[in-house]
């Protein structure tokens, strides 16, 4: 995966922030200049934190060459993350909002847990229509080894038995990600009408 340079990271973060501001202020989405980012990416995730507390995380594994549009769409989905229906990001949260973007490599098939490098790889486990994923940082934050990483993604995300990853009809994939974020800003309250 081709690394995204700092100026383009800042443009993508600006798109996510302006998307959030407009959506939460119930205003039309602004026309934002589209950064030119070439390369094939395996999708992206947008994670939202308010004062350090997770308040939304949604992503897509759809391969994209148009990261700007992908980030805008995923930001809107992250604002509506069903897991936080009672505690979604609000307009008043904007000054304390941190946006984290993870741009993903395309998925690579993995044969077993020995193919997973903790801290470098995120994982996807798939069986039929059931699928679950974790970003690379999850195993590090929770102190999991590769086997626990796979066990937890099955149980917590894919709605499969914990050891389903050992079954021959279960597909395991790895991916890497480039992660960048913007801290809270003090001028994000200007979009409200």
What span, in angstroms and rounded, lies between the C-alpha atoms of 134 and 143? 14
Classify burial at 141, counting beta carbons within 10 Å of its beta carbon; exposed 0-12, middle 13-18, buried 19 or more.
exposed
What tens digit of pLDDT does each residue of 110-148 get? 988 999 999 999 999 999 999 999 999 999 999 999 999
Domain with CATH 3.30.1490.150 in the chain: 108-175
Q: Which helix (H) or strand (E) holds 24?
A: helix 6-24
Model confidence at 189: pLDDT above 50:
no
CATH of 6-105, one of 3.40.50.200, 3.40.50.740, 3.30.700.20, 3.40.220.10: 3.30.700.20
What tens digit of pLDDT does each residue of 146-158 get? 999 999 999 999 9
Domain with CATH 3.30.700.20 in the chain: 6-105
CATH number of the structural domain 108-175: 3.30.1490.150
């Amino acid at each position: 995966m081709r690394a995204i340079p700092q100026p383009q990271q800042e443009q993508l973060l600006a798109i996510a922030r302006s998307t959030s501001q407009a959506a939460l202020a119930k205003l039309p989405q602004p026309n934002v200049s589209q950064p030119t980012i070439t390369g094939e990416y395996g999708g992206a995730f947008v994670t939202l934190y308010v004062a350090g507390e997770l308040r939304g995380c949604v992503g897509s594994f759809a391969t994209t060459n148009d990261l700007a549009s992908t980030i805008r769409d995923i930001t809107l989905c992250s604002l509506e993350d069903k897991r936080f229906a009672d505690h979604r990001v609000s307009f008043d949260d904007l000054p304390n909002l941190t946006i984290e973007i993870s741009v993903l490599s395309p998925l690579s098939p993995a044969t077993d847990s020995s193919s997973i490098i903790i801290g470098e790889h995120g994982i996807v486990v798939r069986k039929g229509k059931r699928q679950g994923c974790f970003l690379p940082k999850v195993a590090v934050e929770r102190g999991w080894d590769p086997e626990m990483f796979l066990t937890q993604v099955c149980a917590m995300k894919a709605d499969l038995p914990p050891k389903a990853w050992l079954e021959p009809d279960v597909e395991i994939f790895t991916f890497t990600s480039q992660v960048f974020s913007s801290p809270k800003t003090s001028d994000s309250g200007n979009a409200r009408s």
